[in-house]
Structure 1
C-alpha cells in the first residue's frame, strides 16, 4: 500500500490564520503564539512539507502564491472535516433528526446563518423545516421546535425578540398618495393584517386589500414591483424598499413578539442544542 506524506493540522491551522489575518503578526495574536513560533511553523511547512513558497510580498502586503491559494482551499476543507469527526465522536448522541416549524417570514432573514453554524458543529443532525403561518404551526403536535409570531401579552414559550410593525413600499414609488391605499398582506388569519386594517380604519384612511398571500416572498415581490404597500416586522424589510410612516400620513403600529416553543414530549439534547442556536441567532 502506497504511503503518502502527511501535514500536521497545526501547521495548516497556522497557515489559514496567516491567510485570514493578512500577516504573521496578527495571526500570532489570533493564535496566542509568538511571531517567531508562527514563522518557524511556516518555514517548516514550506521547506520540509510542501517544498513550495506559500507567501509573497507585494509592496507592504503579504499575499498567497498560486501554490498557497491551492493549499488554502485544501486546508480549510481538511480542518473542517477534522472538526466534524471530533464533534461526531465526542458527542455520538448528537446524531439524528429534528423537525422545526417556522413562518417563511424568518427563513431568509434568520435561518441561514443559524443553520450554517449548527451544521458546522453538528453535521450528523438532519433538520427538517416546515414553513407555515403561525396560526397553523400552533395547531401542530409533531414539531420539536416551533418559531411563531405572537401579540404582546399572549407570549408563550421563550421570547426571542420583539419588533415594531412598520409600513414599507418600493423605493421611488408614492403609493401612499393614492386615494385608496393598495395593501399586500398575509391571509385573513394574520393578526398583523388585522392590526394594519384596524389602524387605517381608526384614522379614516381609505384602503383596499389588493394582494393577499400566505407567503412573505410573494408579498415582497408585489411590493417590490411598486404595486402595493405592506406592513411587516421591521427586520423583514429588504434593502430595496423604504420604511414609511406617520410623516406620510400612515398610523403608527404596535410591536409583535417572536417566540420559540418546545415540544415537551420530544425534548432531547439535539432539540435543546438547536434551541440555543436559534435564540442566539434571533438576538443578533
Structure 2
C-alpha cells in the first residue's frame, strides 16, 4: 500500500490560513477564491490526513492540536521545497536587496508582494527601510525606493496614480466641527501641505490635532473618532468613511507612487523584485 502524498499546494494554502487568520484573507493573499480554499482544506482534512485541522466558530478559525503539529512540518517542507527549486533552477538568485518605502505601503501592498517573492526565491534576503518619502529621496544606499510624488514631479517608474481623499470614523461628524481636527504626517509631507492649502483656500478653520510619521498611528487616531485625515484612497480601511465636497471639504488632487531603481540591470535579483513590485502595485 502506497503512503498518502501531501500536495505542496495544500500545505501552502494551509500555512496561509494559519498566517492570515482565516479562509477569506488567505484566499486573497494566494489569489484563489474562498470556495477553492475551502475545498483544498476539506481534501487535506478528510482525504489525506483524516484529522481535523481547524476549530471553526462562525467566521473565526483556529488550529486544532493536530493543526499546530502540521504547521511546523508544513513550514519546513515548503522552505525546503523552495530552496531545492531555487538552488537547482536559478542558483544565481541569492543575495540581499535593500528596499526603502513609506510605511503606508507595507501592509497595503508590500506584504502580498514579499510573500510571493519569498516563496519563489527563499535564498534572497530583503531589507526593508521604512521612512517618509522626503527622507528616502536623500538616501543613496537603497537598491529600490518607493516614494509618493506630486503630479508633474514624477521620477523613476510610475507604479500607480491615486486620488487623495478625506476620511473619518464611521458615524462621526467631525467634518462639522470648527476648527476641523486633523491627523496628518509631519510638516515635510506634501500631502499635508495639499490638505492645509486646500482648507486655507476655502477659508475653513482647522487645527493639527495629531501628527506622526507612522500611518498606523494616524489611522488609530482617526478610527477612534478623534480627527479627520487626508490619505491615498487605497489606504482607507473599512472602518472609516470617505467624506468630501458634500460634507463641506475641499476636493483633493491625484498623487503618484513611483519606483526608483539604483543601477538597473546590475543585478537580476534586484530587477526580479522590482518587477514583482510593479506587478503588485498594479493590482
TM-score, normalization: structure 1?
A: 0.76
Deviations, residues 68-127 of structure 1 (Å, cap 9, x unaligned): 348995678646632431122221111111100000110111111000000000000110
Matched, 1:268 2:267: yes
* Structure 1 CA distance for aligned equivalents of residues 196 and 80 of structure 2: 52
Q: Which residue of 1 aligns with 2:128?
A: 129
Q: Which residue of 1 aligns with 2:50?
A: 68
* Structure 2 CA distance for aligned equivalents of residues 180 and 241 of structure 1: 20
Q: Aligned to 1:146, what secondary structure does the other structure show? A: strand
Q: Which residue of 2 aligns with 1:29?
A: none
Q: Which residue of 2 aligns with 1:114?
A: 113
* Structure 1 CA distance for aligned equivalents of residues 161 and 219 of structure 2: 21
Comparing 86-95 with 263-272, greater Cα deviation is found at 263-272
Residue 135 to residue 63, structure 1, CA distance change in 2 (3 Å)? closer
Q: Aligned to 1:247, what secondary structure does the other structure show? A: helix
* Structure 2 CA distance for aligned equivalents of residues 139 and 272 of structure 1: 22
Which structure 2 residues correspond to residues 1-284 of structure 1 after superposition, within 5 A?
12-13=6-7, 16=10, 64=46, 67-69=49-51, 73=70, 78=77, 81-264=80-263, 267-284=266-283
Structure 2, unaligned stretches of length 5 or more? Answer: 15-41, 54-65
Q: Aligned to 1:200, what secondary structure does the other structure show? A: helix
Cα deviation for residue 6 of structure 1 reads 8.6
Rg bigger for which structure? 1
The question of whether the paired residues in 2 share the 8 Å contact of 1:144 and 1:266 is answered with no
* Structure 2 CA distance for aligned equivalents of residues 6 and 96 of structure 1: 40
Q: Aligned to 1:64, what secondary structure does the other structure show? A: helix
* Structure 2 CA distance for aligned equivalents of residues 203 and 108 of structure 1: 34
Cα deviation for residue 253 of structure 1 reads 0.3
Deviations, residues 225-252 of structure 1 (Å, cap 9, x unaligned): 1111000000001111111101101011
Comparing 78-87 with 232-241, greater Cα deviation is found at 78-87
In the alignment of these two chains, the number of paired residues is 238
Cα deviation for residue 265 of structure 1 reads 7.5
TM-score, normalization: structure 2?
A: 0.76
Tell me how large the CA RMSD over aligned residues is: 2.9
The question of whether the paired residues in 2 share the 8 Å contact of 1:182 and 1:228 is answered with yes
Deviations, residues 31-56 of structure 1 (Å, cap 9, x unaligned): xxxxxxxxxxxxxxxxxxxxxxxxxx
